[in-house]
Structure 1
Amino acid sequence: MNPVYKTIESIDWITLVLFFSMVVLALGKYLFKNKFLNFMILPFNNRYVVLYNKKGRLLSWFHILLTIFQLINFSLFLFLILKVFFTLPSENNPTSFFLLIAGLLLFQIVKMLLQFAQGFVFNTQGLISELLFNKISYLNYSSLVMFISNIVLIYILKDSKIVISSAIILIISINVIGLTRLLKNHQKAIIPYFFYFILYLCALEIAPLVLVGSYLKD
Structure 2
Amino acid sequence: MNPVYKTIESLDWITIVLFFSMVVLALGKYLFQNRFLNFMILPFNNKYVVLYNKKGRLFNWFHILLTIFQLINFSLFLFLVLNVFFTVPSDNNPSSFLIIMAGLLLFQIVKILLQFGQGYVFNTQGLISELLFNKISYLNYSSLVMFVSNIVLIYVLNDSKIIISVAIILIISINVIGLTRLLKNHQKAIIPYFFYFILYLCALEIAPLVLVGSYLKD
TM-score class, shorter? over 0.9
Gaps of 5+ in 1: none
Please list the CA deviations of residues 13-42 of structure 1 after superposition, one character each: whole Å capped at 9, or x if unmatched: 000000000000000000000000000000
| Contact 1:24-1:68 within 8 A present in 2 as well | yes
Aligned residues of 1:10 and 1:91 also touching (Cα < 8 A): no
Q: CA deviation at 1:4?
A: 4.5
Alignment partner, residue 108 of structure 1: 108
Distance in 2, Cα, partners of 1:193 & 1:83: 42
* Corresponding residue for residue 72 of structure 2: 72
User: How much has 1:5 moved relative to structure 2?
Assistant: 3.3
Within 5 Å, which residues of 2 pair with 1:5-154? 5-54=5-54, 56-90=56-90, 92-154=92-154
Q: How many pairs align?
A: 218
CA distance in 1, matches of 2:59, 2:96: 29
Q: CA 1:119–1:153 in 2, change beyond 3 Å: closer, same or farther?
A: same
Q: Letter of the aligned partner of 1:67 in structure 2?
A: T
Question: Are the aligned partners of 2:43 and 2:177 in contact in 1 as well (CA < 8 Å)?
Answer: yes
Question: What stretches of structure 1 move > 4 A for 4+ residues in a row?
Answer: 1-4
Q: CA deviation at 1:8?
A: 1.2
Q: Which residue of 2 aligns with 1:172?
A: 172
In structure 1, the residue corresponding to 2:141 is in which secondary structure? helix
- The answer to whether the 8 Å contact 1:13/1:94 transfers is yes
Query: Take 1:113 and 1:139, find their aligned partners in 2: how far apart are those partners?
Result: 18
Give, as a single letter, the amino acid of the residue that structure 2 aligns with 1:143. Answer: S
Q: Deviations over 1:187-206 (max 9, x none)?
A: 00000000000000000000
CA distance in 2, matches of 1:91, 1:62: 35
- For residues 91 and 134 of structure 2, what CA distance do their matches in structure 1 show? 34
Q: CA deviation at 1:89?
A: 3.1
Question: How well do the aligned residues superpose, as a CA RMSD in angstroms?
Answer: 1.1
User: CA offsets per residue over residues 90-147 of structure 1, 9 Å max, x none?
Assistant: 4531111000000000000000000000000000000000000000000000000000
Q: Which amino acid aligns with 1:200?
A: Y
> What is the alpha-carbon distance in structure 2 between the residues aligned to residue 118 and residue 62 of structure 1?
26
Does the 8 Å CA contact 2:90/2:96 hold for their aligned counterparts? no
- Judge which range, 3-12 or 53-62, deviates more: 3-12
8 A contact 1:13–1:92 mirrored in 2: no
Q: How far apart, in 1, do the equivalents of 2:19 and 2:146 lie?
A: 14
